[in-house]
Every structure is written in C-alpha cells, then in structure tokens.
Structure 1
Amino acid sequence: MKTITLSEELAEILSVFEQANNENMIIQFADGRQFMLSAIDDFDMEIAQTCRNQKLMELLDQRARQAQTISLDEVKC
C-alpha cells in the first residue's frame, strides 16, 4: 500500500476527502474508471496489512482445512 501526502493547495481534492470522512465515496472519471474513497482508522490499516502477510494467510488456510479438531472437554483436561 502506498501513502501520499497532499498539500493544502489542493482545496477541491481536500473537500472530497472531507466528504469521504462521513461516508464511503465512489469517484468516477469521464473515461469510466472508478475508485472507492473511504476513511480508515488504525484497526482498518492493521487488517489490511495482516491480509497482505502471505505466510500468515497460508497458515490460516492450512489450519482451516484441518479435519481433526480438539473438543472443548479435551482442552479443559
């Protein structure tokens, strides 16, 4: 994920970001391309970064496919 910093000279763009602070927005260009603009918090960033961790995602996929499970009674012993 790339992060860029905007200067205050871009008033129109900053206005759009301010609107996106209240609700998700779709920005559409004349050629039909669309982009979603959404405010995020630290937890949203953490989720996005975690999902990009290929090794962790592979481990979770592997564990999800495991047929053998441990019952709660076995864990309590």
Structure 2
Amino acid sequence: MKTIELTDYYLTLEELLRIADKQTVILHKSGKKGFVIAPIDEFDLEVELLQNNKEFMAYLDDISKEKATITLEEVEKRLGL
C-alpha cells in the first residue's frame, strides 16, 4: 500500500493508475478527506452499483421486514411432495 500526500506530488492520472496497478494507493490532501484507489473485480463493481441503487436498497429493506414463514408441510404441499 502506498500513501500519497497530494500537496507533495503532482501525478498524472496515467502515473497514478500505473502505481495503483501494483498496489493499493491512498490519496490525502492537506489532512482532508482521503481516497483509496484499488483494483476491483466484477463482484466488487456489482456490489458498489447495487449499494448505490436506491430502488434495490428499498426492495431489500422491504423484504427484510417480511415476517411470513411457511411450514415444511406447506412447502411439501406446494411442491407436490
């Protein structure tokens, strides 16, 4: 992991991505907010997109409140077992 203080460096995006290709990069600017630049895979991307999807998060919130359960007998009946 490499920490870069932006007040000390001037990096192009290409230079920054070259560093981030080898290791995770943490960017700081004068003690303000920090940022992490790290590679992501398809799963990470999907998680990020879904977490920022208000409709999907509302759906998850709604189904988490459901209290409905069914008995094993009802499951077997519905499946014709």
TM-score (norm 1): 0.61
Secondary structure of 1:19's counterpart equals coil
Which structure: greater strand fraction?
2
Which portions of structure 1, spanning 4 or more consecutive aligned residues, are displaced by more than 4 angstroms?
A: none
Higher RCO structure (Cα 8 Å, ≥6 apart): 2
Question: Offset of 1:35 from its aligned partner?
Answer: 0.8
1:25 partnered with 2:28: no
Structure 1 unaligned runs (5+)? 1-8
Equivalences, count? 65
Over 3 Å counting, the alpha-carbon distance change for 1:65 and 1:18 in structure 2 is: same
The residue number in structure 2 matching 1:66 is 66
RMSD: 2.3
Larger Cα Rg: Structure 1 or Structure 2?
2
Distance 2:36 2:26 in 1: 4
**Percent identical residues:** 31
